[in-house]
Amino acid sequence: MDAYKTNMQTWKEQYRTWMTSREKAIGEAEGTIDQSNKDYGKMFQVNVLSHWSILGLLMTGMFALIFWAQKRKDAAV
């Protein structure tokens, strides 16, 4: 019975040490993530649909300009 108690005490100490280091690592990681959200939060909160819409409009406009320039050049030749 004494061996069991000794083994349990050893396990408890190892577990406590492991849990302390684990909580420290998790706390540091959460702090890093929280600071990143505070510093760059606006960059993570974008509306992808609106940005893609703007990009689509720009591509359509560029295509129209290229098409118009080619037709104009063909008509001039």
The tens-digit pLDDT sequence of the chain (77 residues) is: 899 999 999 999 999 999 999 999 999 999 999 999 999 988 888 899 999 999 999 999 999 999 999 999 888 76
Map residue 45 onto helix, strand or coil. coil
The answer to whether the Cα torsion of 9, 13, 15, 16 is positive or negative is: positive
The tokens describing 74, both together, are: 């063909």
Listed by start position, the domains of the chain span 1-45, 46-77
pLDDT of residue 1: 82
